[in-house]
Chains A and B, each alone.
Chain A
Amino acid sequence: DADVTQTPRNRITKTGKRIMLECSQTKGHDRMYWYRQDPGLGLRLIYYSFDVKDINKGEISDGYSVSRQAQAKFSLSLESAIPNQTALYFCATRDGGDTEAFFGQGTRLTVV
């Protein structure tokens, strides 16, 4: 099983719908991140969390919300999806200190 699991892997939804992307990890890491990736724009940070009670906005948080239900789970919600939120979304986790981030396999979201 993957250390960082994202569900769903692919999703097509309609404009205005609420959608939740889920991320769970078995690595025991305290830090979790949500990124979106668009062609030519790289990975952009949406939200990040250091523990259940510590959630922070990233560079592009407008239109998104998150929930850290447990140390192992970090969900990203689009309250009212719009077409320019069509992107590849990645969840990542890392431990504190000089450690690398581990990524989930990504969720490809299409808003029509």
Chain B
Amino acid sequence: GQNIDQPTEMTATEGAIVQINCTYQTSGFNGLFWYQQHAGEAPTFLSYNVLDGLEEKGRFSSFLSRSKGYSYLLLKELQMKDSASYLCAVRVYNTDKLIFGTGTRLQVFP
């Protein structure tokens, strides 16, 4: 089976750094995605990790440890527009299913 865990909610201050964690247990792992979703809108792609290590893309970075079943999304220099839900998703090996966690709702305050 598949199980993906993320914190339900987080808060942070504008200009700060926040780390959103994701742990997963899947029957087969073939990559992890992070998506951003503003309320009532479609999810949009942020990052993808398939090998261990850090992937950096501007203010956003994502880390993966396959042996620990763990990933995090790091957001730097937070802006008000970063207030959104952040979804962790795992691609399941051999089926190509994309399974999502419940998402982390981030609120950024001035």
Contacts and interface: CB of A to CB of B under 8 A. Distances in A.
A43 B42 contact: no
* B interface, size bucket: 20 to 34
Contacts, number: 55
Interface stretch (A12-20, A64-72, A77-85, A98-106): A98-106
Interface residues of A, number: 27
Contact of A103 (B42, B48, B103): B42
Of A50, A96, A98, A102, chain B has the most CB atoms within 10 Å of the CB of A98
Interface of A, secondary structure class, is: strand
A98 B103 contact: no
Nearest to A90: B42
Interface of A: 31, 33, 35, 40-45, 48, 50, 56, 58-59, 88, 90, 92, 94, 96, 98, 100-106
18 contacts: A35-B100, A40-B8, A42-B87, A42-B101, A42-B102, A43-B43, A43-B103, A45-B99, A59-B99, A90-B43, A96-B96, A101-B45, A101-B98, A103-B43, A103-B44, A105-B41, A105-B42, A106-B42
